[in-house]
Amino acid sequence: MSTEVLYRKWRPQRFRDVTGQDHVTRTLVNAITLGRVGHAYLFAGPRGTGKTTVARIFGKTINCQAPVEGEACDACEPCQAFAQGALDFVEIDAASNRGVEDADRLRKQVGYAPSVGAYRVYLVDEVHMLSKQAFNALLKTLEEPPGHIVFILATTEAQDVLPTVMSRCQRFDFARHNTADMAARLAYICEQEGFVMDEPTLTLLARAGTGSLRDAINLLEQVVASHGTTVTHEQVQAELGMAGDARAVAFVAQLLGKDLSGGLTTIGAVVDDGVELKRFLRDARDTLRNVLLVAGGAGASLSLGAEDIEAATSIAGATDYEDVTRALKIFGQVDLRDGASPMPLELALAEYVVQANQRAEARQAAREPQVRPAEGQPNGQRAPSRAAPLPPARAQARRPAMSPQQSAPQEPAAPLPGNESEIVREMRSRWRELLDETRRRNVKASAMINGNCDVCGYDNGVVTFGFRHQFHADQMINGGEGQFLVVLRDSVRTLFGPELEVKCLYRPDVREPERGGGRGGHLVQQAVDLGGKVVEGG
Residue 441: closest CA among 503, 486, 506:
486
What's the topology of domain 6-173? Rossmann fold (3.40.50)
CA 502 centroid distance within chain:
40
Reduce the DSSP state of residue 341 to 3 states and report it. coil
**Which pLDDT tens digit goes with each residue over 359-377?**
777 777 666 554 444 444 4
Domain residue limits, the chain? 6-173, 179-239, 246-362, 422-529
What is the β-pairing status of strands 453-459 and 170-173? Answer: unpaired
**DSSP secondary structure string for all residues of 285-332:** HHHHHHHHHHHTT-GGG----HHHHHHHHHHHHTS-HHHHHHHHHHHH
β-bridge partners, 40:
151
The CATH label, of 3.90.1170.50, 3.20.20.100, 3.40.50.10420, 3.30.300.180, for the domain at 422-529 is 3.30.300.180
Residue 102 pLDDT: 85
Residue 378 pLDDT: 46
Distances (CA, A) of 283 to 145, 252, 288: 55, 10, 9
Angle at which helices 179-193 and 213-227 cross, to 10°: 40
3-state SS, one letter per residue, for 452-485: CEEEEEEECCEEEEEECCHHHHHHHHHHHHHHHH
Reduce the DSSP state of residue 417 to 3 states and report it. coil
Distances (CA, A) of 253 to 263, 266, 269, 457, 515: 9, 11, 16, 46, 50
Q: In what order do the strands lie in the sheet with 120-125?
A: 89-93, 120-125, 149-155, 40-44, 170-173
Exposure string of 88-112, with b = 16+ CB inside 10 Å and e = fewer, is bbeebebeebbebebbeebeeebee
pLDDT lower than 70: segments of the chain: 1-2, 241-245, 300-301, 303-307, 339, 365-420, 511-538
Residue 380 pLDDT: 42
Residue 454 pLDDT: 87
- Average predicted confidence (pLDDT) for the chain: 81
| CATH number at 179-239 | 1.10.8.60
Reduce the DSSP state of residue 440 to 3 states and report it. helix
What's the topology of domain 246-362? Zinc Finger, Delta Prime; domain 3 (1.20.272)
Residue 470 pLDDT: 81
10 Å CB burial of residue 295 (0-12, 13-18, 19+) is buried
